[in-house]
């Protein structure tokens, strides 16, 4: 294999095949290229069978790209190699052996909407107010427990306080319902795989012997459960290669544990560590800005990105008087940039989805094409959810969650009372609604409804048989026709119903792509439903789709010629919650680092003087992240749309990026930006800026309870907190 185009560190990473290996891979350092060449090297040069290789990525898109690259590098058959996400890998393992845990091998995978439906049902049964106990909050509680491998029984024993105890009880109810429906949520896929390995050492031994060489991409984003799973798989041979960057650990809110990568050398004392610091993506200006920002963090593995792309355009900054003006100015810049770049080369990144509205409005009014990642998902549309529920019931008749959705869709005269009777009967006898319908004559259901239910049951059984010899596209057509769903939409004949028919036709584009890659077999429907359940936001990112709008979290792993980062204000980015939590601040700074390093050629940073927040306008101080970028990297001209011209650099510095300063008040106490202080009336806060001279010296302070305030330094009743 020709490795002449690799740099020294990349080549060493490829050729170090035995034992634990930590690749500290900076942004744009070619880590995917190194991983694919390393796998190809194992196959071609070391003669390792593809059967013995496992590579874990975080998106289906990344897995597909990696497999394609490996196939292009080697002549050997790589067909038995597993390259997949954690969840896809666990689906394959559980499909084979989940029966050891008492589940049906034709299990369903719940999406977030299904999960909320289950929790809402539990709350209703317990006579609890949904507004007081929001299902999402409860699901976050359950997810957090599962990511820590804490069962419902253990959560109840460890519960502290009323809410903790209540949510643990709901967790118990939730798991019982999922088990009864032979359904799993995303967190179960990993947790139950670990449970399977714990209870069945022979199953674990099988996979340890199979996967003798394990690769894990984005290791800094693994949670405790994923960490435990990897350790179990690699315990025998210890040929584990993890790739990651502590500076890009930004998913703490999902349970990601940065200590997994920081402590890798403690877990594997014999590990070899290689740093990939050569960046092949961004200009030196952009990398210098990224390095300057991230160097303010302490919880990291030190490294310094470098590039051979000297210079590059300086970083532009935008100052607007409102979020609407910010959107207009961003769009004006995009129009100018479109002379040199395609719209698909440009991305606008923001801290929270709520910030997209002003940008969207400006793009729509300018007729600039755009694609928003993370908005209303295609698979969450009503008609797609209905169709998917039919397919889930065809695959897994025990799935009461899906069956309840389609039992009267389209309208067939089955009321809520009938469904309640079937559910209650099924609960008493430990059977599904599907099975309970066979006894419908004996449980007080009207004769007309019984006839309708039996007809539906026959149709679903017939579709189950068809699924064994049909493509998924053919099965979709049969399902829409046999159940009367399509006929009902056609008879409705409204603008909305026609739009739904169009969406169902678009769904068949997805099924055709799936069918084209596979031969018909009796596993086809299960494979399709599993793949659909594991689709991520990034899997939907298409080339040539116009300007991309997305949160910085969603942008990770992507790159664009031009990147805008908007809303660079204290309380927005970094967000309000960082004021008294250094760990949260470091996570936000890593997010800024990720945003900056998405840019290849040009970076534009934007903020607004005031912004509508929760229905009222607030003046926001500039983000500290702007201050952390050296002056020499900033463009000499700062766009300020409050004037018809660009202001000179010296004036712009006072409005866009104030210098860090240290001052002393009349009491001899020195203050600097970043100091934590307390005020007799406003409480605790943090200094975000210092300006003025003499008795006119002012402190900009963001208070936890009162928000931003500007106070005279010499006279304000403030004390410095140690």
Residue the block writes with tokens 């940039």: 337
Catalytic residue among 57, 248, 418, 483: 248
Catalytic residue among 598, 607, 624, 697: 598
Under 8 Å between Cβ of 577 and 571: no
Has 32 been labeled as part of a binding site? yes
Distances (CA, A) of 386 to 201, 390, 406, 460, 470: 40, 6, 6, 14, 20
| Residue 95: cis peptide before it, omega within 30 degrees of 0 | no
Tokens found for residue 340: 């040199």
Distances (CA, A) of 641 to 318, 319, 599: 8, 7, 24
Has 26 been labeled as part of a binding site? yes
The yes-or-no answer on residue 217 being catalytic is yes
- Label each residue of 198-255 as H, E or C: HHCHHHHHHHHHHCCEEEECCHHHCCHHHHHHHHHHHCCCCCEEEEECHHHCCCHHHC
Residue the block writes with tokens 């766009």: 639
Catalytic residue among 9, 185, 218, 570: 218
The yes-or-no answer on residue 32 being catalytic is yes
The yes-or-no answer on residue 218 being catalytic is yes
Catalytic residue among 9, 97, 187, 217: 217
What pairs with residue 401 in β-bridges?
A: none
Has 697 been labeled as part of a binding site? no
The yes-or-no answer on residue 248 being catalytic is yes
Catalytic residue among 16, 17, 32, 655: 32
Catalytic residue among 9, 10, 31, 500: 31
Has 121 been labeled as part of a binding site? no
Has 25 been labeled as part of a binding site? yes
The four Cα atoms 87, 89, 92, 96 give a dihedral, to 10 degrees, of: -110
3-state secondary structure of 617: strand
Under 8 Å between Cβ of 713 and 669: no
Has 28 been labeled as part of a binding site? yes
Q: How far is 385 from 50, CA to CA, in rounded Å?
A: 37
Under 8 Å between Cβ of 440 and 469: no
Under 8 Å between Cβ of 370 and 547: yes
List the Cα angle 450/455/457 in 5-degree steps: 95
Give the list of residues 6+ apart from residue 622 with CB closer than 8 angstroms, or none.
568, 569, 570, 607, 656, 657, 658, 688, 689
240-244, strands of its sheet edge to edge = 82-85, 53-57, 213-216, 240-244, 21-25, 272-276
What pairs with residue 285 in β-bridges?
A: none
**b or e along 114-124 (b: 16 or more beta carbons within 10 Å of the residue's beta carbon)?**
bbbbbbebbbe
Helix (H) or strand (E) holding 39: helix 31-44
**DSSP letter for each residue of 499-567:** HHHHHHHHHHHHHHHHHHTS---TTHHHHHHHHHHT--GGGG--TTSSEEEEEHHHHTT--EEEEEE--
List the binding residues. Answer: 25-32
Q: Which residues are catalytic?
A: 31-32, 217-218, 248, 598
List the binding residues for ATP. Answer: 25-32
């Amino acid at each position: 294999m020709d490795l002449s185009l690799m740099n020294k560190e990349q080549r060493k990473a490829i050729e170090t095949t035995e034992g634990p290996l930590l690749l500290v891979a900076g942004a744009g350092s070619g880590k995917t290229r190194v991983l694919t060449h390393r796998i190809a090297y194992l196959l071609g040069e070391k003669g390792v069978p593809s059967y013995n290789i496992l590579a874990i990525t975080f998106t289906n898109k990344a897995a597909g790209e990696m497999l394609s690259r490996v196939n292009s590098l080697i002549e050997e058959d790589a067909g038995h190699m597993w390259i997949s996400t954690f969840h896809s890998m666990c689906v394959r393992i559980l499909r084979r052996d989940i029966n050891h845990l008492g589940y049906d091998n034709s299990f369903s995978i719940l999406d977030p909407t299904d999960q909320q439906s289950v929790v809402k049902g539990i709350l209703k049964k317990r006579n609890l107010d949904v507004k007081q106990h929001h299902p999402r909050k409860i699901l976050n509680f359950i997810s957090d427990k599962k990511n820590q491998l804490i069962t419902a029984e253990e959560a109840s024993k460890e519960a502290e306080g009323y809410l903790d105890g209540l949510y643990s009880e709901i967790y118990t109810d939730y798991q019982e319902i999922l088990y009864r429906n032979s359904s799993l949520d995303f967190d179960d896929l990993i947790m139950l795989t670990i449970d399977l390995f714990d209870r069945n050492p022979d199953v674990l031994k099988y996979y340890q012997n199979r996967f003798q060489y394990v690769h894990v991409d984005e290791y800094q984003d693994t949670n405790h459960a994923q960490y435990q799973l990897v350790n179990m798989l690699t315990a025998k041979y210890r040929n584990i290669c993890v790739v990651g960057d502590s500076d890009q650990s930004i998913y703490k809110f999902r349970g990601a544990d940065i200590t997994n990568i920081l402590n890798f050398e403690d877990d594997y004392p014999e590990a070899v560590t290689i740093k990939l610091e050569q960046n092949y993506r961004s200009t030196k200006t952009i990398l210098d800005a990224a390095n300057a920002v991230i160097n303010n963090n302490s919880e990291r593995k030190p490294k310094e990105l470098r590039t051979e792309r000297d210079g590059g355009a300086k970083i532009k900054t935008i100052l607007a008087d409102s979020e609407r003006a910010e959107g207009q100015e961003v769009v004006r810049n995009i129009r100018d940039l479109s002379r040199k770049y395609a719209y698909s080369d440009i991305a606008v990144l923001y801290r929270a989805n709520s910030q997209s509205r002003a940008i969207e409005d400006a793009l729509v009014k300018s007729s600039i094409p755009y694609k928003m990642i993370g908005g209303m998902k295609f698979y969450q549309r009503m008609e797609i959810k209905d169709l998917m529920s039919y397919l889930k019931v065809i695959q897994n008749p025990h799935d009461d969650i899906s069956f309840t959705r389609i039992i009267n869709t389209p309208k067939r005269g089955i009321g809520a009372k009938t469904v309640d009777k079937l559910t209650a009967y099924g609960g008493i006898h430990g059977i599904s609604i599907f099975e309970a319908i066979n006894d419908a004559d004996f449980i007080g259901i009207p004769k007309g409804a019984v006839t309708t239910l039996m007809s539906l049951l026959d149709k679903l059984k017939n579709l189950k048989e068809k699924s064994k010899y049909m493509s998924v596209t053919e099965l979709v057509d049969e399902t829409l026709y046999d159940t009367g769903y399509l006929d009902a939409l056609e008879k409705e004949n409204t603008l909305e119903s026609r739009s739904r028919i169009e969406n169902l036709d678009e769904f068949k584009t997805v099924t055709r792509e799936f069918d084209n890659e596979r031969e018909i077999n009796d596993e086809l429907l299960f494979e399709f439903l599993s793949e659909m359940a594991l689709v991520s936001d990034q899997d939907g990112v298409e080339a040539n789709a116009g300007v991309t709008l997305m949160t910085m979290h969603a942008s990770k792993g992507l790159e664009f010629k031009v990147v805008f980062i908007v809303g660079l204000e204290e309380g927005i980015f970094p967000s309000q919650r960082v004021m008294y939590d250094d760990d949260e601040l470091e996570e936000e700074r890593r997010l800024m680092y990720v945003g900056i390093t998405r840019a290849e050629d040009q970076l534009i940073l934007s903020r607004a003087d005031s912004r509508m927040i929760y229905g009222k306008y607030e003046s926001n101080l500039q983000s500290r992240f702007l201050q952390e970028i050296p002056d020499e990297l900033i463009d000499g001209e700062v766009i300020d749309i409050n004037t018809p011209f660009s202001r000179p650099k010296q004036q712009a510095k006072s409005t866009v990026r104030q210098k860090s300063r240290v001052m002393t008040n009349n009491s001899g106490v020195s203050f600097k930006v970043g100091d934590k202080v307390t005020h007799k009336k406003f409480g605790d806060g943090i200094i975000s800026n210092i300006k003025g001279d003499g008795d006119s010296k002012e402190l900009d302070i963001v208070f936890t309870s009162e928000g931003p305030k500007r106070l005279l330094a010499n006279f304000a009743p403030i004390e410095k907190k140690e």
